[in-house]
């Protein structure tokens, strides 16, 4: 996604299922291709840890 200044961002949301712990983190990317690489890397880590994607 792009922000107000037209920079590429990946917004990562983390949180607990049974508690209120959580955070939002914004990661900057230099291009859309790098943005997609970051998303793929995050998805790979989550799958390896046993997370499953849920409909939003």
| pLDDT tens-digit series, residues 1-56 | 888 888 899 999 888 778 888 889 999 998 899 999 999 999 999 999 998 888 87
- What is the pTM for the complete model shown? 0.74
Specify the pLDDT at position 16.
79
CA distance 19 to 53: 20
Asked if residues 8 and 35 have their Cβ atoms less than 8 Å apart, the reply is yes
Specify the pLDDT at position 53.
83
């Amino acid at each position: 996604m792009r922000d107000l200044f037209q920079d590429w961002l990946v917004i990562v949301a983390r949180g607990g299922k049974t508690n209120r712990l959580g955070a939002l983190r914004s990661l900057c990317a230099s291009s859309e291709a790098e943005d997609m690489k970051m998303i793929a890397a995050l998805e790979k880590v989550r799958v390896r840890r046993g997370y499953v994607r849920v409909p939003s």
